[in-house]
Amino acid sequence: MRTLTDHEKRTVRRATIGIAIYLVLFAGFQMWKFMHKQRVEYLQLVADATQLRLKVQAYQSRAESLKRMMEEYHLDPAKLSRETIVGEASSAIQKAASASGIQVGTVRESASRGSADEIATMQFEGSGPVPAVTGLLNRMQTLGYPLVIDSVQIAPDTRPGMMKLSLTIVILNFEKWKTPEATHA
Amino acid sequence: MKELPFMNLSPVYIEISQGWLKALRETDGLDVPLERSANGQLTAACKETLALSLHKFLGRKGWQPRARALCAIGANGVSLRRMALPPASRDEFSKLVRLQVETEFPLSPDELSWGYRKLDALPANGAPSRQELLVAAVKKDRVEEYAGVLFAAGLNPVFTPAAMARAYLCPHPLGSCAFVDVGQTQLEFVGFENGIPVALRVFPWGTEKRLDSLAKAIGGKTGKVYITGSNGAPGEIIAELRSKFGIVCEQLDAASGAGQSAAVLGLRKASEENNGPALLLFQAAAKPASIGSFKFSQPVPKKWAVRVAALLAVLLILPYAEALLLKGHLSKKLAALKSGQGKMSAIDQEYDFLRYLKLNGPPYLDALYLFAKAAPPGARFESTSMNRRGDISLRGSMQNAQQVTDFRAKLIDSGFFDRVTVEEQVPTPDRQKVNVRITAQWKPVEKRAGLAIGPTRDEIEKAKTNTVGQGNSPARGGMPPGMPAGMPPGAVMISR
pLDDT, tens digit (0-9, with 9 covering 90-100), for A146-165: 999 999 999 988 888 889 99
DSSP 8-state assignment for residue B42: B
pLDDT of amino acid B397 = 92
Residue A185 has pLDDT above 50, yes or no: no
Work out the pLDDT band at B121, boundaries 50, 70, 90.
low
User: Cα torsion for B307, B308, B314, B317, to the nearest 10°?
Assistant: -130
Which of B236, B251, B266 terminates a domain? The answer is: B251
Which of B128, B135, B129 is CA-nearest to residue B94?
B135
Percent of chain A with pLDDT over 90: 49
Sign for the pseudo-dihedral over CA of B37, B39, B44, B50: positive
Q: Is residue B335 part of a domain?
A: no
Q: How many CB pairs under 8 A join A and B?
A: 184
Nearest Cα residue in chain B from A100 = B480
pLDDT of amino acid B475 = 38
* Sequence letter at residue B94: S
- CA–CA–CA angle A32, A33, A34 (5° rounding): 90
Percent of chain B with pLDDT over 90: 15
Pick from B330, B365, B390: CB nearest A184? B390
Pick from A38, A69, A148: CB nearest B354? A69
Contact A149/B479, CB-based, under 8 Å? no
pLDDT of amino acid B347 = 84
Average pLDDT over chain A, rounded to an integer: 87
- Asked if B442 and B371 sit in the same domain, the reply is yes
Q: Is residue B357 part of a domain?
A: no
- Asked if B143 and B285 sit in the same domain, the reply is yes
Contact between B364 and B373 under an 8 Å Cβ cutoff? The reply is no
Mean pLDDT of the A82-111 span: 91
* Residue of B356, B394, B442, B467 for testing the chain A interface, max A β-carbons within 10 Å: B356
Q: pLDDT tens, B169-187?
A: 888 777 888 888 888 778 8
Q: Is residue B344 part of a domain?
A: no
Residue B431 has pLDDT above 90, yes or no: no
Pick from B330, B349, B382: CB nearest A49? B330
Average pLDDT over chain B, rounded to an integer: 80
- Asked if B221 and B273 sit in the same domain, the reply is no
* Residue of A65, A66, A124, A150 for testing the chain B interface, max B β-carbons within 10 Å: A66
Instruction: Supply the CATH number for residue B291's domain.
Output: 3.30.420
User: Across B265-353, where does the E strand assignment appear?
Assistant: none
Mean pLDDT of the A1-26 span: 91
Residues of A within 8 A of B357 (CB-CB) are 73, 75, 141, 146, 148, 172
C-alpha A86/C-alpha B440 separation (Å) is: 32
pLDDT of amino acid B169 = 83
Cis bond leading into B173, ω under 30°? yes
Residue B395 has pLDDT above 90, yes or no: yes
User: Cα torsion for B103, B107, B109, B111, to the nearest 10°?
Assistant: 180
Instruction: Supply the CATH number for residue B419's domain.
Output: 3.30.1360.100
Nearest Cα residue in chain B from A170 = B388
C-alpha B255/C-alpha A183 separation (Å) is: 112
pLDDT of amino acid B177 = 85
Work out the pLDDT band at B474, boundaries 50, 70, 90.
very low
Residue A112: how many other CB atoms lie within 10 Å: 16
List residues bridging with B135 in a β-sheet. B81, B116
- Asked if B258 and B125 sit in the same domain, the reply is yes
Contact B327/A141, CB-based, under 8 Å? no
Contact A184/B327, CB-based, under 8 Å? no
How many domains, in total, are found in chain B?
3
- B257 by Cβ neighbours in 10 Å (0-12 / 13-18 / 19+) ranks as middle
Residues of B within 8 A of A36 (CB-CB) are 320
Pairing of strands B67-73, B12-16: parallel
User: Cα torsion for B261, B266, B268, B270, to the nearest 10°?
Assistant: -170
Contact B484/A138, CB-based, under 8 Å? yes
Q: Is residue B323 part of a domain?
A: no
Alpha carbon B196 to its chain's center: 57
- Asked if B229 and B82 sit in the same domain, the reply is no
Residues of B within 8 A of A82 (CB-CB) are none
Q: Give the end-to-end CA distance of chain A in Å, rounded to a whole number.
A: 105
Nearest Cα residue in chain A from B335 = A49
pLDDT of amino acid A181 = 42
In Å, how far are A141, B2, B264, B303, B451 from B8, measured between CA atoms? Answer: 96, 10, 21, 23, 91
- Asked if B26 and B132 sit in the same domain, the reply is yes
Which of B161, B154, B135, B162 is CA-nearest to residue B69?
B154
Which of B490, B301, B495 is CA-nearest to residue B399?
B490
Contact between B196 and B81 under an 8 Å Cβ cutoff? The reply is no
pLDDT of amino acid B404 = 92
Pick from B331, B351, B388: CB nearest A149? B388
pLDDT of amino acid B231 = 62
Domain hosting residue B375, numbered range? 364-493
Q: Is residue B328 part of a domain?
A: no
C-alpha B92/C-alpha A163 separation (Å) is: 146
Residue A107 has pLDDT above 70, yes or no: yes
Residue B351 has pLDDT above 90, yes or no: no
Q: Is residue B469 part of a domain?
A: yes
Percent of chain B with pLDDT over 70: 83
Residue B371: how many other CB atoms lie within 10 Å: 25
User: Across B50-185, where does the E strand assignment appear?
Assistant: 67-73, 79-85, 112-119, 131-139, 155-161, 177-182
* Residue of B360, B369, B371, B392 for testing the chain A interface, max A β-carbons within 10 Å: B360
Residue B300 has pLDDT above 80, yes or no: no
Work out the pLDDT band at B3, boundaries 50, 70, 90.
very low
What is the ipTM score, two decimals? Answer: 0.73
DSSP assignment of B444-486, as one string?
PHHHHTT---S--HHHHHHHHHHHHHTTS-GGGTPPPTT-SSP
- Asked if B395 and B459 sit in the same domain, the reply is yes
Least confident of B201-205, B218-222, B306-310, B438-442: B218-222
- Asked if B165 and B243 sit in the same domain, the reply is no
What's phi and psi for B191, nearest 5 deg? -110, 140
- Asked if B149 and B176 sit in the same domain, the reply is no
Residue B161 has pLDDT above 80, yes or no: yes
Contact with chain B for residue A179, Cβ under 8 A: yes
Pairing of strands B28-33, A103-111: unpaired
- B215 by Cβ neighbours in 10 Å (0-12 / 13-18 / 19+) ranks as middle
State the nearest Cα–Cα gap between B410 and chain A, in angstroms: 22
- Asked if B198 and B291 sit in the same domain, the reply is no
Question: Could you say which residues from 25 to 44 on chain A have a Cβ atom under 8 Å away from some Cβ of chain B?
Answer: 35-36, 38-39, 41-43
pLDDT of amino acid B255 = 63
Which of B180, B148, B119, B403 is CA-nearest to residue B288?
B148
Residue B479 has pLDDT above 80, yes or no: no
Work out the pLDDT band at B155, boundaries 50, 70, 90.
confident
State the nearest Cα–Cα gap between B490 and chain A, in angstroms: 14
C-alpha A92/C-alpha A145 separation (Å) is: 9
Q: Is residue B387 part of a domain?
A: yes
Residues of A within 8 A of B474 (CB-CB) are 101, 129, 131-132
- Asked if B22 and B113 sit in the same domain, the reply is yes
Sign for the pseudo-dihedral over CA of A46, A47, A51, A57: positive
Q: pLDDT tens, B242-288?
A: 777 777 788 877 667 788 888 888 888 888 887 778 888 887 655 54
Q: Is residue B343 part of a domain?
A: no
Assessment of whether the complete model's pTM goes beyond 0.80:
no
- Asked if B206 and B263 sit in the same domain, the reply is no
H-type helices in B76-230, by residue range? 90-104, 140-152, 162-166, 208-218
Mean pLDDT of the B341-365 span: 84
pLDDT of amino acid B210 = 62
Residue B210: how many other CB atoms lie within 10 Å: 14
C-alpha B401/C-alpha B436 separation (Å) is: 9
Residues of B within 8 A of A172 (CB-CB) are 353, 356-357
pLDDT of amino acid B284 = 62
Instruction: Supply the CATH number for residue B195's domain.
Output: 3.30.420.260
Residues of A within 8 A of B358 (CB-CB) are 69, 72-73
Residue A164: how many other CB atoms lie within 10 Å: 20
Q: pLDDT tens, A112-151?
A: 766 677 889 999 999 999 889 989 998 888 899 999 999 9
Q: pLDDT tens, B55-81?
A: 888 887 767 778 888 999 988 888 888
pLDDT of amino acid B25 = 87
Which of B217, B143, B224 is CA-nearest to residue B187?
B217
C-alpha B25/C-alpha B65 separation (Å) is: 16
DSSP 8-state assignment for residue B220: T
pLDDT of amino acid A92 = 93
Contact between B374 and B440 under an 8 Å Cβ cutoff? The reply is no
